[in-house]
């Protein structure tokens, strides 16, 4: 891995979950002394779409993200370049892990559900070892972050709250600090 951790957040349409998680991880990186570069992408994307009003609303409701500018986001299909660039690909669902592994088997040991990382990454290990161990876990639909697409604002808000919790656990583990106080 490089000095700066390179993270790709991945969901289906790159319109809600990966977008939210990407902005959250950027905020947590800014709040720490760790340098992370974050890209978000999707497995089945209409390229170039702006952030949806419900995704935007959900992000704006998280006080720790206030002052961030979300309007520049445009949806992006996962590319070979994204996969080659990433130190870790954090997915919202088990199906996204399967998608990456089928198309990019070389990235299998760098692709993991965000909830699986939070559950299985060893506490006292480098981020590279944490990713390796967590990515060895069998993808599990029970660890999926449910897609809010088609839902109302409360569905997006619940998704954002779940992702915010997971992002904070990821940051704590990745930084190797059990007493990390994000933001």
Work out how many domains the chain is built from and give that number. Answer: 1
Domain that holds residue 161: 5-175
Residue in 163, 115, 156 with CA at minimum distance from that of residue 135: 115
Which domain CATH number covers 124?
Answer: 3.40.50.2300
Residue 180 has pLDDT above 70, yes or no: no
- Please check whether residue 181 lies inside any domain of the structure: no
- Residue-wise pLDDT tens digits, 95-106: 999 999 999 999
178 pLDDT tier (thresholds 50, 70, 90): very low
Position 59 in a domain: yes
* Residue 177, pLDDT score: 53
User: Is 182 a member of any domain?
Assistant: no
Split at pLDDT 50, 70, 90, the class of 108 is: very high
The strand pairing partners of 90, in sequence order, are 9, 112
pLDDT score recorded for residue 85: 97
In a domain, 183, yes or no: no
Nearest-5° Cα angle at 158, 27 to 174: 35
Quick one: what percent of the chain has pLDDT higher than 90?
Answer: 83
Tell me the per-residue pLDDT of 28-77, one tens digit each, with 9 for 90 and over.
988 887 779 999 999 999 999 999 999 999 999 999 998 888 888 999 99
Do residues 52 and 20 lie in contact, with contact meaning Cβ atoms separated by under 8 Å?
no
């Amino acid at each position: 891995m490089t000095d700066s951790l390179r993270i790709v957040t991945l969901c289906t349409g790159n319109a809600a979950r990966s977008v939210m998680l990407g902005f959250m991880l950027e905020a947590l990186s800014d709040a720490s002394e760790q340098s992370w570069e974050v890209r978000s992408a999707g497995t089945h994307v209409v390229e170039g779409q702006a952030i949806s009003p419900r995704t935007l609303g959900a992000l704006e409701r998280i006080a720790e993200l206030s002052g961030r500018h979300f309007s520049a986001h445009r949806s992006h299909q996962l590319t070979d370049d994204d996969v080659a660039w990433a130190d870790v690909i954090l997915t919202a669902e088990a199906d996204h892990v399967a998608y990456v592994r089928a198309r990019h088997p070389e990235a299998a040991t760098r692709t993991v559900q965000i909830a699986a990382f939070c559950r299985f990454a060893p506490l006292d290990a480098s981020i590279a070892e944490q990713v390796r161990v967590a990515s060895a876990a069998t993808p599990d639909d029970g660890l999926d972050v449910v897609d809010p697409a088609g839902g109302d604002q409360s569905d997006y808000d619940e998704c954002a709250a779940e992702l915010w919790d997971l992002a904070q656990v990821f940051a704590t583990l990745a930084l190797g600090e059990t007493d990390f106080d994000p933001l």
